[in-house]
Structure 1
Amino acid sequence: MKRLLALCATVFTISSLYAQTIDITPLRRQLETSPILAKHFFGFCLYDLDSNRFLLGINEEKYFTPASNAKIFTLHTALQSLGDSIIGLHYIERGDSLIFWGTGDPTFLHNRLDSKRVYQFLKNSDKKLFYAPSKQMEEAFYRKGWAIEDYDEYYQPELSGFPIYGNVVTFRERNGQLECSPSYFQQAVETVYNGEGKFTLTRVFDRNWFTKSANRPPRHYVNEKPFRYSEELFVQLLQDTLRKNVTRINYSKPANFKTVYSTSTKDVLREMMLPSDNFLAEQLQLMSALVRYGDFHTLRLRHEMQREFHRAFTDEITLVDGSGLSTYNKVTPRSMVEILLLIRAMIPDAAQLHRLFPTGGVDGTLKRAYALDRGEPFVWAKTGTIHAVHNQSGFLLTRSGRNLAFSFLNTNFLGSESSIRKEMVRIMTFIREHY
């Protein structure tokens, strides 16, 4: 931990204004006497960024499932590995042929992130197109600990070396009918008369066949369903959108390949963090591994991050994915603060740093959680929620101008996380007003 604090201390100037003694007793009392928090297990850690010291910890050394707080670790990994722009394509030209490989870039034909650079490059090429699949990935399309029953939920697309359309089919209501994008899947939608009172849409577990109920979809209905990914399907979808022939071949990537860049890395990171996009998080790990090792070896990537960075943490942690979908992930509130310190050391500009986190009362997953204080936001934090888990970790600015980092982890509760969310907001607002 001394190594970690020394690293962060080189970036921040210690001000005598903030070196004064802070009476943390009122905050501790708020946490320890809360009737909401008393009903479940929670951990809390608070760090003063201006004086570089921990202020308060309650169960800060205990282990919790981070849920989407795991994306903070992925953010750090991506910042360490990727440059300013996402690598969209590797390719070589051989005579009248263009041979290309995927890079794990999740933005290709993505409905919010696609820059069209890779698409236009392939579309405008006058050469014959040959797609060469990358080597087989470990944990080919799911990570360990993912819930298989969530296979057709929007938040769990399959992972791949060359994603297309975010590896989902987007269904929309138009004039009372259900349309899908890409339109290739329209032929794979079947209407069933199941007596359901509301409109339903599901995908068959082992293939790309979708069933919808006979009643009309609600007005403005939008739903994303992951499709079963295969190299054959990718080629078919690519041909359909390019309106050009694409041939799949086995061809090893040479050392002298060229690169096409796609989207700004910071834009992808922001999209991962604000709406908490699991697919982007996992693909960012694949891309980071490709940049470092030349292949999609994410297990090696996690081992390197552990060896080079996480080993300096006060507490040992375990991470098996980049999104937080796995319940095998285990962290402590203290380790969450420590990864925040590393990220802040890389992005000392507060505005740039805060842009990568949901802003309380403004955007992302915290838009409706917090109210602005005197017209200003004061919390920038990543949320994380799965069954019986609800977390927040990030940064807070107090009325006195004190800059803090915090982690607030909750687990083992029944029912909705709504009351816990409100209680966290109440306590973080208390800190804002009193420190």
Structure 2
Amino acid sequence: MKNTLCCFVAVLLLASCASTKNRKIRKEIGRELNDRLLDNQFTGFLVMDATTKDTIFCKNHLKYFTPASNTKIFTLYTSLQVLPEKVPALKYLVQGDTLFIQGTGDPTLLHPHFQDSTAIDFLKNYEHIALYLNNFNTAKFGAGWAWDDYPYYYQVERSGFPLYGNVVTVFGKDSIQAIPAYFKNNIVAMEYPINREADRNLFYYAADRTDTLTVPFRVDSSLTRVLLETVLKKKVQIINEFPEGDKELLFSVISDSVNKRMMVESDNFLAEQLLILAASSLSDTLDGFRAQEYILENQLSDLQHPPRWVDGSGLSRYNLFTPQSMVHVLQKLFDELPRDRLFTLFPAGGVSGTLEDWYTGDDQPYIYAKSGSLGNNYCLSGYLITHTGKTLIFSFMNNHFLRPSSEIKKRMEAILELLRDTY
């Protein structure tokens, strides 16, 4: 009885110490967030212990924010829940001497980074190829995307059968070169305010440039056919109806290789195509909204504050998410994936991707998180490893500030370091 009483008292003392420590942490964070620097912006912050699920700090965590690329956390979760281990590259059916194919939205085929040719090698085995493109039911640009961002890599057109990442890569010293080479004659060697005309595939690259330029191209069925014919060195027929029959699947790269690049490099094109890929695994219709509906109605039906989820990348300012929803999904990922796999899917502070220059640890990273940036908005959501070895899950959202984002990041870094050092 005496031993039991002693243990009970010890537990109470430990709980009291923990409670006192947490109060001090909350007070210090509150003081930082009440600084005049943050007066004219909207800030939300939620931090939880990943193991105990105790809330360490919260402010405006139930309010909706423009998340920017934090939206990719929801896209990542959808991809991990729906896609198989390898990316579905094609759906196909063989009838007689003809191979009938339709796209899945696979972004890796001849992509400048992945340079995957699985589908090309497969197609070369058939003399007669019929391509069906009418299963793509998604607008090329998302709702709320900026109309004048069309010539920049971060706003590549979405499509059902992407080739070369839907971009042309221009480079050269002595002479201008292009990948795919089909566009070489579409490049004008002159200095010009824009990289491409808005309504056609006419590109500009100054003759004295020595860097590499990556520009989205306009996608249509005729161009897709020509690019495919060029690489296959054979004719491809565009068809309006796909024949009846059981389709088979061809797979390409490991899905996590796409997930990781999407998250670490914050690649908007890959994010958009991952939602389309997820839709292809649910039905024959390539509509990213179907994948969003599915995941919200099933695996994320327990969200207390369902988001306004408009696209896969976070380019749209129509997106609205709460810090609590972000933490909810991050907690699911933490509970469902091994740590060594989960953390490699996120940028590491001071080491990789969009966090390479921020949130540097002592001898190893202490932050594994997804950043999100739009004009006057900066958000960061992910995982924090404390000096005591605990894992915290957080979502830190800042909207509508007018100061340089570097000042906001410095204040965030101070708060995150406080959690690292004291919890």
User: Does TM, normalized by the shorter one, top 0.5?
Assistant: yes
Aligned-pair identity (%) = 35
Q: Which residue of 2 aligns with 1:168?
A: 167
Q: How far apart are the structure 2 equivalents of 1:118 and 1:52? A: 45
Amino acid at match of 1:120: D
Q: Which residue of 1 aligns with 2:254?
A: 264
**Relative to 1, partners in 2 of residues 1:89 and 1:17: Cα closer, same or farther, differing over 3 Å?**
farther
Amino acid at match of 1:73: F
Aligned-pair CA distance for 1:206:
0.8
- Which of 265, 271, 279 is the equivalent residue of 2:269? 279
1:204 aligns with 2:197: yes
Q: Which residue of 2 aligns with 1:150?
A: 149
Q: How far apart are the structure 2 equivalents of 1:24 and 1:381? A: 25
Q: Any idea what the Cα deviations from partners look like across 1:288-307, whole Å, max 9, x if unmatched?
A: 11111221132232222222
Q: Which residue of 1 aligns with 2:183?
A: 185
Amino acid at match of 1:87: P
Q: For 1:174-323, what aligned pairs fall within 5 Å after superposition?
A: 174-192=172-190, 201-213=194-206, 216-217=208-209, 219=210, 221-323=211-313
Amino acid at match of 1:222: T
3-state SS in 1 of match to 2:227: helix
**Relative to 1, partners in 2 of residues 1:253 and 1:342: Cα closer, same or farther, differing over 3 Å?**
farther
Aligned-pair CA distance for 1:331:
0.8
Q: How far apart are the structure 2 equivalents of 1:423 and 1:223? A: 35
Q: Which residue of 2 aligns with 1:410?
A: 398
The total of aligned residue pairs comes to: 407
Q: For 1:319-330, what aligned pairs fall within 5 Å after superposition?
A: 319-330=309-320
Q: How far apart are the structure 2 equivalents of 1:122 and 1:223? A: 30
Q: How far apart are the structure 2 equivalents of 1:337 and 1:103? A: 30
- The answer on whether the counterparts of 2:93 and 2:245 sit within 8 Å (CA) in structure 1 is no
* Farther off after superposition, 278-287 or 419-428: 419-428
Q: Any idea what the Cα deviations from partners look like across 1:44-90, whole Å, max 9, x if unmatched?
A: 00010121222210111111101000000001111111010000011
Q: How far apart are the structure 2 equivalents of 1:269 and 1:323? A: 12
**Relative to 1, partners in 2 of residues 1:309 and 1:98: Cα closer, same or farther, differing over 3 Å?**
closer
Q: Which residue of 1 aligns with 2:383?
A: 395
Q: Which runs of 5+ in 1 are unaligned?
A: 1-15, 195-199
Aligned-pair CA distance for 1:311:
4.1
Q: How far apart are the structure 2 equivalents of 1:222 and 1:28? A: 50
Aligned-pair CA distance for 1:369:
0.8
3-state SS in 2 of match to 1:99: strand
3-state SS in 2 of match to 1:155: helix
- The answer on whether the counterparts of 2:191 and 2:204 sit within 8 Å (CA) in structure 1 is no
3-state SS in 1 of match to 2:22: coil
**Relative to 1, partners in 2 of residues 1:24 and 1:237: Cα closer, same or farther, differing over 3 Å?**
farther
- The answer on whether the counterparts of 1:27 and 1:431 sit within 8 Å (CA) in structure 2 is no
Q: How far apart are the structure 2 equivalents of 1:247 and 1:153? A: 31
Q: Which residue of 1 aligns with 2:366?
A: 378
Q: How far apart are the structure 1 equivalents of 2:228 and 2:113? A: 18
- The answer on whether the counterparts of 1:170 and 1:224 sit within 8 Å (CA) in structure 2 is yes
Q: How far apart are the structure 2 equivalents of 1:350 and 1:81? A: 20
Aligned-pair CA distance for 1:119:
1.7
Aligned-pair CA distance for 1:201:
5.0
Q: How far apart are the structure 1 equivalents of 2:34 and 2:199? A: 50
- The answer on whether the counterparts of 2:360 and 2:366 sit within 8 Å (CA) in structure 1 is no
Q: How far apart are the structure 1 equivalents of 2:384 and 2:376? A: 25
Amino acid at match of 1:370: Y
- The answer on whether the counterparts of 1:379 and 1:396 sit within 8 Å (CA) in structure 2 is yes
Q: How far apart are the structure 2 equivalents of 1:261 and 1:253? A: 21
**Relative to 1, partners in 2 of residues 1:18 and 1:202: Cα closer, same or farther, differing over 3 Å?**
farther
Q: Which residue of 2 aligns with 1:119?
A: 120
Q: Between Structure 1 and Structure 2, which shows a larger proportion of helix residues? A: 2
Q: Any idea what the Cα deviations from partners look like across 1:125-150, whole Å, max 9, x if unmatched?
A: 14222212132414x21111111111
Q: How far apart are the structure 2 equivalents of 1:401 and 1:39? A: 35
* Structure 1 residue ranges, 4+ long, deviating more than 6 angstroms after superposition: 16-19
Q: Any idea what the Cα deviations from partners look like across 1:289-340, whole Å, max 9, x if unmatched?
A: 1111221132232222222244422323210111100111101111110111
Q: Any idea what the Cα deviations from partners look like across 1:146-179, whole Å, max 9, x if unmatched?
A: 111111111111111100000011112x225432
Q: Which residue of 2 aligns with 1:129?
A: 129
Q: How far apart are the structure 2 equivalents of 1:255 and 1:416? A: 57
Q: Which residue of 2 aligns with 1:23?
A: 22
Aligned-pair CA distance for 1:367:
1.1
Q: For 1:413-428, what aligned pairs fall within 5 Å after superposition?
A: 413-428=401-416
Please identify the structure whose Cα radius of gyration is greater: 2
**Relative to 1, partners in 2 of residues 1:115 and 1:185: Cα closer, same or farther, differing over 3 Å?**
closer
Q: Which residue of 2 aligns with 1:110?
A: 111
Amino acid at match of 1:98: L
**TM-score, normalised on structure 2?**
0.91
3-state SS in 1 of match to 2:28: helix
Q: Any idea what the Cα deviations from partners look like across 1:221-279, whole Å, max 9, x if unmatched?
A: 12211111001101101111222222212232534112110010011000100000111
- The answer on whether the counterparts of 2:25 and 2:422 sit within 8 Å (CA) in structure 1 is no
**Relative to 1, partners in 2 of residues 1:17 and 1:299: Cα closer, same or farther, differing over 3 Å?**
farther
Q: Which residue of 1 aligns with 2:418?
A: 430
**Relative to 1, partners in 2 of residues 1:342 and 1:187: Cα closer, same or farther, differing over 3 Å?**
same
- The answer on whether the counterparts of 1:152 and 1:202 sit within 8 Å (CA) in structure 2 is yes
**Relative to 1, partners in 2 of residues 1:193 and 1:119: Cα closer, same or farther, differing over 3 Å?**
closer
Aligned-pair CA distance for 1:428:
1.0
- The answer on whether the counterparts of 2:101 and 2:131 sit within 8 Å (CA) in structure 1 is yes
- The answer on whether the counterparts of 1:67 and 1:326 sit within 8 Å (CA) in structure 2 is yes
Amino acid at match of 1:58: K
Q: How far apart are the structure 2 equivalents of 1:306 and 1:28? A: 35
Aligned-pair CA distance for 1:389:
0.8
Q: Which residue of 2 aligns with 1:363?
A: 352
Q: How far apart are the structure 2 equivalents of 1:115 and 1:292? A: 24
Q: How far apart are the structure 1 equivalents of 2:95 and 2:38? A: 64
Q: How far apart are the structure 2 equivalents of 1:17 and 1:113? A: 52
CA RMSD of aligned residues (A): 2.0
- The answer on whether the counterparts of 1:102 and 1:134 sit within 8 Å (CA) in structure 2 is no
Q: How far apart are the structure 2 equivalents of 1:238 and 1:189? A: 20
3-state SS in 2 of match to 1:158: coil
